[in-house]
Structure 1
Amino acid sequence: MSPGRKKSAAAASVLSFPSFLSPSSPSPVSFRRSPFGPPARATLLVLWAATLVGRTHAQEAAAAASLPTVTVTAESQDGTQQHLGAKVSSGALGARSQLETPFSTSVVRGEDMAERQVSKLGDVFALDASVSDNSGAYSAWASYITVRGLPLDWQNGYRINGQPFLSYAITLPYEHFEQIELLKGSSGFMYGFGAPGGIVNYVTKKPTDQSVRSIEVGYKTAGIWSEHVDLGGRFGTDNRFGYRLNATHEEGKTYNDGNVRRNSVSLGLDAKLTDKLTWTFDTLYQKRNTSGQTPSIYLGSYTGTQLPSTISASNQSLVGPGQHLNTDFRLYSTGLQYQLAPDWTLSTSYSHSSATRSRNEGIAYLQDAGGGYDDYRSDSAEGHRFNQWQAMVNGKLRTGDFEHRITLGTSWQKQVNYYSSNAVYQLIGTGSIFGQNTNGYATSTDFRTYRNSDITQRALFASDTLKLSDRWSVLAGLRSTTYEQIGYDTTGAQNSSYRKSGVITPTLALMYKPAPDTMLYTSYVESLEPGSTVSTMYANNGQLLNPLKSKQYELGVKTEHDRWSATAALFRIERGAEYANSSNVLVQDGRSIYQGLEVGASTWLGSQWQIGGNLMLLDSSYERGSSYIGNRVAGAPKLVATAQVSYLVPQVPGLKLSADMKYTGNTMLNASNQLNLPGYTVANIGASYTTRIAGHSTTFRAAINNVTNRRYWEYQYDNYIKPGDPRTFSLSAKLDF
């Protein structure tokens, strides 16, 4: 029996739904208040499901002597934890499986996220050693991660279905995604301008041929209740029309006595207009309000060489009154795909996204090892708009004995940023991280935003994957980008500009497949990332810096089999260095080097045990012209290692137990290497149980993250730290109906 295709036995019984959960009655998920609020409905559903389980087992026992065993077979999506057969979006390269992509990638499936009960992006990629968590749940930093020691670019490093959006302070609804993909390293050819850390692509749930109907309720520490509905299927003549609707409500008290309230809804549609023409439409909306988030801790003025003792992120004493983060996010995208010929496809797409945020955030300027700080408060309103259009042709052709896989395309995108002309950033008092924050601040509600900057990119791109033989192939790609960035003052007058035409970013790769399930590759990519607009944290506030160039070299191998898979990659990334100097001026000086090794593997031991692990060894340094030649790059740990194990309990069919851990090595806080953040290990455990109740598949899940309640300082950004998230408990129950 294949370990990925376990069988479980259950007796079928006919049981009725309670009236408030009847499939014919209105959905229990509502964005309006009702007598059955989230806690009440969640509790009722869990109790009802537990009652059904007990009744089912009683009926099984009573009927065991006379009824034959009914066997139900469930199939998993694939047999390994690395999902190398999964398709990933590679921008200008189109969609390819991880195994066929000559770059290091990672895929986390929706089922993986549900089992581990994720709350932030660092949780999503917790089992990937190349990813370091810089995020904190329920804060403006919840989507911050570094990849291979490089921070992701919040303006260009995040996509939804391949379409760009501004990610800053946006925590997306993870329940709404089929999978989340990570393309590691430089991505200039695939996506245009962007930092070389990588690209995160969220893939929304799509219409399915089989009907999907499920409701899920959940609970998280210390009082957050959630409800999620997933509906999908096809209809019309020959099932030409498909839909997928997801809706989530989440509300309650966070682990540090703050509050969160989130409503989100997404809709995916497709229509087979003709046998050759398909139309798609996707939309996602989320309104998320949080309060009482833990402040960031800034060390730019810290004079010590050792950090104070760690504190817990659940410590309410650090939180001053008035702090909040309110975000509103909308995405609309549509596309057409036309089959020109059996091997040729023409596609075009357009997307529009907008994000607004009202943010009242505390920043503790740490002064000494005793924990004393100056308490600053940042209060502002901000917004972003992003529009993109793209057209692309994909196809195959032959020239003599060689086969070509061709991609040709063009794209246009425009980003508009809005910031507050009357934003507040001021000292409101002093305090200690070990005592109660008593500093008061009256939040402003009358912020006036102005158009701060426009960023436009126009690009032409082409690639050819030349198949030399059954084993050897070569990829060559080229993107030409015209990049323009214009800044405005509060009166609307232009005060800065940068324009670069015909910027060429190439990619090259050589691939060798000794077997259909194994690929060796070597690749080269260049990227150019937008220059920073210097923030208020630095002495040169408001200055627009020039774009930075980066180069990446990679040598790797990927292999996937029925019972095991493995990956390995050697890489070197050269990037222009950007950091704050001793005068607190943000400068571009010299270059930073990141080189290292990534290895990962997953395997089944027998039919019940599955184990996996990841390792990254990283050597980083500032070189050539930098004031800090030879120093380690800030935010780049030398060693990260992960391990995971799961066990299918044979005595209880459908029960799965799991555990994982991640060690993050010591990390430099800034370019001067004055402060070294110690390494730490975070361990998690979980369990899931899938059974059939009244003929319906039902899944119960439980998870404990940071099971030992480890306290540690986490690198957040250059000269910023935060206390690591504390131990949290999660429970959920999902019913397919």
Structure 2
Amino acid sequence: MAFVASQAAFAQQDSDAAASAETTQTTRKSASEKVLPAVTINSRKNSNAPLEQDVSSGALGTRSQLDTPFSTTIVTGEQLADRQASKLGDVFFRDASASDNSNPYNAWASYVTVRGMQLDWQNGFKIDGQPYNGYGITMPYEQLERVELLKGLSGFMYGFGAPGGVVNYVTLKPPVSSTPVRSIDVGYHSTGIWSEHLDLGGRVGPNDMLGYRFNATHEEGKTYNDGNVRRNSFSLAADLKITRDLSATFGALYQERHTSGITTALSAAQYTGTALPGRISGGSSTIVTPDQHLNTNLQVYTTGLRYNLNDDWSVSGTYSFSKSTRDRNESTYYLLDSAGNYNDTRYGGKEGHQFGTWQVMAEGNVKTGPLSHQIVVGGAYQTQHNDNGANTFYSQIGVGNIYQANTNRYEGSGFYTYRNSDVTQKAIFASDTIQLTQRWSVLGGLRYTNYDQKGYALDGTTTSSYSQNGVLTPTVALMFKLEPTTTLYASYVESLEAGTVVGTSYANSGELLKPLRSKQYEIGVKSERERWSASAALFRIERGSQYANSANVYVQDGESVFQGIEAGTDFRLGRDWSMGGDLMWIATQYKRGSSNNGNRVAGAPGFVAAAHVNYAVAAVPGLKLGVDAKFTGNTSLNPSASLNIPGYLLMNLGATYSTRIAGHGVTLRAALDNVLNRRYWEFQYADYIAPGEPRTLSLNAKVEF
């Protein structure tokens, strides 16, 4: 993760900020006489005020972070470019609630832990609010407008999903004005990866009725551990103003990515020691073999219509189709002892996933006597098809040691898939945010879902099924405006996550487990000021537990409890300096199960802290320097609490220089990650670890034309 801390909240001079604040206050005063404060804040999209930025919340519609009664994070496209993110953990480096479990060059690309819970790679990822399967997918971050993280449960907002949270990738959109967007950039990443990226956008036709945004990226080269990567990514977004009140949108994203010599997964499921082996570098060639690979393909297509009935009401309809496929030849090294010896077990096969989603929604404002209502109602229909390997290879191919070169090889081919499972969700939902007084408001929402899940054998016969109608997932919240820019809230939400299809490494492989219900309680505060912003939340989450027992059977047993506090702030010191910090403390335990009661939940670090400092060099206009750091506390590796991963500290440096040459905007970026070249073990999944990435250098040069 390359760091150049965001200057977005602190870029303006004092006089500009004061003028902006005065204008915003006038807008608030005028709008509050007619509509809800939530709607008033939604109309503001000031990038210099992070909490005032809009965040998508599924069935809750779109509202500002300040008026969303849940903990959220937004990372802008500019911040992604400054950080030169190559995996999901890079994106949320400055968020203490998000712990990195990812790797940019293997199937763990999208793994991240939020509040001690890993995101659901089947249902926890969206592109422009629409679902896709995130397993093994490294996103084209250079083609994104922003990345949104809704922490905790999302049952009412998005339907079935694990309680860690939801990541929504927002692709670059057509420009609002007639000023075209044209740029090209060239990048370099350790130790020999080059990328080229083209960004074109504009508006054409009478009254600029048609807007477009096209992006294309090619990336290829040698990774820091002597592997190879080759990627081609394309995205297109368009909007059409059919009439003054009717508009249409279209979006498409296509990516083909090939990686070879990928970092091997390390498992402690067969480990006999009480402390992990000595740490190695993620750049070590001893855990890489040239025959291992991961090839992925991602396709997402969306279309929608929106009609403004009047100034207060609008209706919309969207359809999306996504398809992701994986071709893997990937080993798992089952560690045996502290000397680093292992059994080398190889997986070879293909998988695939498809989502088709329809959604209609109406949003509006009404008054009933002295009360104002912000109402969202709608319905959704979603199908999910999962394809598994029909002739999967999974067997031990040899032994080895993590400190020595691996000579085991497996060259498999001819793999194909079959329909493994289907999931159908039919839902209706409604929410009402009621303005009780100028300061008090209450939110209530309910999603009603008919859920059906089936598992199939290779010959197409149904091997397992789960069906339930009338599944209710509610949310309620109470909000108090201490002042126009400060919100206190208390919220409650429930969620259900789809039943797990047990993986190939367990004794009950292929079994379909029942859905799990979770509950979340949260009390928080958010405040946005001229020179600083801050947020804090107390939370408690209760979730059904799943883990492998002593017989290596993956079971549902008891519940996991997560309770803690998270807090963060960003502030500006004078004209040139800005800094911020974020922390999370969390206590977790297994309860009411047949085993592991009282143990810490695997994957949940007890304490995480992040900090960043930025300096705009006054002597060199356009030059910004930054440093950020993140400490991740020790983490329990397995439910039995027999192994812990020691805590570690990472530091990153970055610089951005913006200028004009021959009338063209030019931006140069440099980033140095893991400056101290620390070696550390990173939690990836229960019983799985990975060596942390070594020191890496990223460079980028962008020219506007």
TM-score, normalization by structure 1: 0.89
Matches within 5 A, 1:415-434: 415-434=384-403
| Mapped contact 1:137–1:725 kept (Cα < 8 A) | no
- Asked whether the equivalents of residues 320 and 362 of structure 1 are also in contact (C-alpha less than 8 Å), the reply is no
Contact 2:262 2:289 in 1 (8 A): no
Question: Which aligned pairs between 1:594-609 and structure 2 lie closer than 5 A?
Answer: 594-609=562-577
Figure out how many residues of one structure are paired with residues of the other and give that number.
Answer: 665
1:308-360 CA distances to partner (integer Å, 9 max, x unpaired)? 10001110122123100111111100000001121000000000011111011
The answer as to whether partners of 2:235 and 2:251 remain within 8 angstroms in 1 is: yes
Per-residue displacement from partner, 1:601-637 (whole Å, max 9, x unpaired)? Answer: 0000111100000000000001123411110000000
1:65 aligned partner: none
| 2:214 matches 1:245 | yes
Aligned match of 1:155: 122
Q: Residues of 2 paired with 1:448 and 1:699: CA distance? A: 45
- For 1:6 and 1:366, the matched residues in 2 are separated by 56
- Distance in 2 between the 1:545 and 1:441 partners? 32
Per the alignment, in what secondary structure is the counterpart of residue 89 of structure 2? Answer: helix
Matched with 1:4 is 11
Which residue is equivalent to 2:192? Answer: 223
Amino acid at match of 1:734: K
Q: How does 1:511-530 map to 2 (within 5 A)?
A: 511-530=479-498
Asked if 1:371 is matched to 2:319, the reply is: no
Which ranges of structure 1 fall in alignment gaps of 5 or more residues?
A: 8-75
2: CA distance, partners of 1:237 / 1:320:
57
Q: Encode CA deviations 1:246-295: one digit per residue, 9 max, x unaligned.
A: 11010000000000000001000000001110000000000000000110
- Deviation digits for residues 71-115 of structure 1, max 9, x if unmatched? xxxxx96336xx111111000000011011000000000100111
In 2: Cα distance, 1:298 partner to 1:392 partner: 45
Q: Write the distance in 2 (CA, Å) between the matches of 1:327 and 1:102.
A: 36
The change in CA–CA distance for 1:434 and 1:414 in structure 2 (over 3 A counts) is: same
Match of 1:639 in 2: 607
1:442, 1:567 → 2: CA distance? 52
1:234 aligns with 2:200: no
SS at structure 2 position matched to 1:671: coil
Shift of 1:540: 1.2
Instruction: Verify: 1:411 aligned to 2:375, yes or no.
Output: no
Which residue is 1:282 aligned to?
Answer: 251
Distance in 2 separating the partners of 1:491 and 1:581 = 30
Q: Which residue of 2 aligns with 1:320?
A: 289
State the alpha-carbon separation in 2 of the partners of residues 185 and 511 from structure 1: 18
CA contact (8 A) 1:591 1:626 kept: no
Amino acid paired to 1:96: R
Cα contact 1:318–1:436 (8 A) shared by 2: yes
Paired residue for 2:646? Answer: 678
Q: Is the 8 A contact 2:260 2:290 kept in 1?
A: no
Which position in structure 1 is the counterpart of 2:41? none
Task: From 108, 126, 135, give the equivalent of 2:75.
Answer: 108
Asked if 1:78 is matched to 2:47, the reply is yes
The answer on whether the counterparts of 2:324 and 2:353 sit within 8 Å (CA) in structure 1 is yes
1:116 and 1:318 mapped to 2: Cα distance?
27
Match of 2:455 in 1: 487
- Please tell me the residue identity of whatever aligns with 1:218: G
Contact 2:46 2:53 in 1 (8 A): no
Does structure 2 retain, via aligned residues, the 8 Å contact 1:79–1:563? no
- For 2:107, the equivalent position in structure 1 comes to 140
Corresponding letter in the other structure for 2:405: Q
Aligned to 1:58: none
Which residue number corresponds to residue 338 of structure 1? 307
Partner in structure 2 of residue 358 of structure 1: 327
Which residue of structure 2 lines up, in the alignment, with residue 67 of structure 1? none
Report if the CA contact (8 A) 2:58-2:157 is conserved: yes
Describe the superposition over 1:183-234 as per-residue Cα deviations: whole angstroms up to 9, x where unpaired. 0000100000000000000001111123111101000000000011111111
Q: Map 1:558-577; keep pairs closer than 5 Å.
A: 558-577=526-545
Distance 1:452 1:555 in 2: 41
Q: In the alignment, what sits opposite 1:11?
A: none
1:98-147 Cα distance to aligned partner (Å, 9 max, x none):
01100000000010011111100000000000000000121110110010
> Quick one: distance in 1 between partners of 2:218 and 2:530?
39
Q: Which of residues 510, 518, 540 is equivalent to 1:550? A: 518
Structure 2 counterpart of 1:494, one-letter code: T
Q: Which of residues 567, 591, 612 is equivalent to 1:623? A: 591
CA distance in 2, matches of 1:79, 1:476: 31
Deviations 1:406-450 (A, max 9, x none): 111000000101111100011111000010101121222x11211
The answer to whether the aligner puts 1:174 opposite 2:141 as a matched pair is yes
Kindly report which structure 2 residues correspond to 1:54-133, keeping only aligned pairs within 5 A, or say none: 78-79=47-48, 83-133=50-100
Match of 2:235 in 1: 266
Change (3 A) 1:621 1:384: same
1:390 aligns with 2:359: yes
Question: Who is 1:706 aligned against?
Answer: 674
Equivalent in 453, 461, 465 of residue 433 of structure 2: 465
Please state whether the residue corresponding to 2:80 is helix, strand or coil: helix
- The corresponding residue for 1:66 is none
User: How far apart, CA to CA, are the structure 2 residues paired with 1:440 and 1:703?
Assistant: 36
Q: Give the Cα separation in 1 of the matches to 2:466 and 2:299.
A: 29
Contact 1:321 1:441 in 2 (8 A): no
Deviation, structure 1 residue 543: 1.0
Cα deviation, residue 6, structure 1: 5.4
2:659 is the counterpart of 1:691? yes
Q: How far apart, CA to CA, are the structure 1 residues paired with 2:195 and 2:185?
A: 8
Are 2:546 and 1:578 aligned? yes
Find the structure with the greater CA-based Rg.
1
State the alpha-carbon separation in 1 of the partners of residues 287 and 165 from structure 2. 33
SS of alignment partner, residue 142 of structure 2: helix
Seq. identity, %: 59
Verify the 8 A CA contact 2:302 2:319 in the aligned structure 1. yes
Which amino acid is 1:504 matched to?
L
| Residue 717 (structure 1) aligned to one of 680, 685, 695 | 685
- Provide the rounded CA distance (Å) in 1 between the counterparts of 2:572 and 2:409: 56
Aligned-partner SS, 2:52: coil
What residue is the counterpart of 2:559 in the other structure?
Answer: 591
Once residues 309 and 487 of structure 1 are traced to their aligned partners in structure 2, the CA distance between those partners, rounded to angstroms, is 42
Instruction: Supply the distance in 1 between the matched residues of 2:532 and 2:306 (Cα, whole angstroms).
Output: 36
- What CA distance in whole angstroms lies between the structure 2 residues aligned with 1:311 and 1:104? 35
Q: Paired residue for 2:39?
A: none
- Structure 1 Cα separation of the partners of residues 433 and 287 of structure 2: 55
CA contact (8 A) 1:488 1:495 kept: yes
Calculate the TM-score normalised by the size of structure 2.
0.93
Aligned equivalents of 1:252 and 1:625: distance in 2? 49
Kindly provide the amino acid, as one letter, of the partner of residue 418 in structure 1: D
Q: Is 1:230–1:245's contact at 8 Å kept on the other side of the alignment?
A: yes
Partner of 2:51: helix, strand, or coil? coil
Does the CA contact (< 8 Å) of 1:230 and 1:244 recur in 2?
yes
1:256 counterpart SS class:
coil
The Cα shift of 1:5 comes to 2.2
Matches within 5 A, 1:526-545: 526-545=494-513
Give the SS at the match of 1:535.
Answer: coil
- The whole-number CA distance in structure 2 between the counterparts of 1:112 and 1:189 is 30
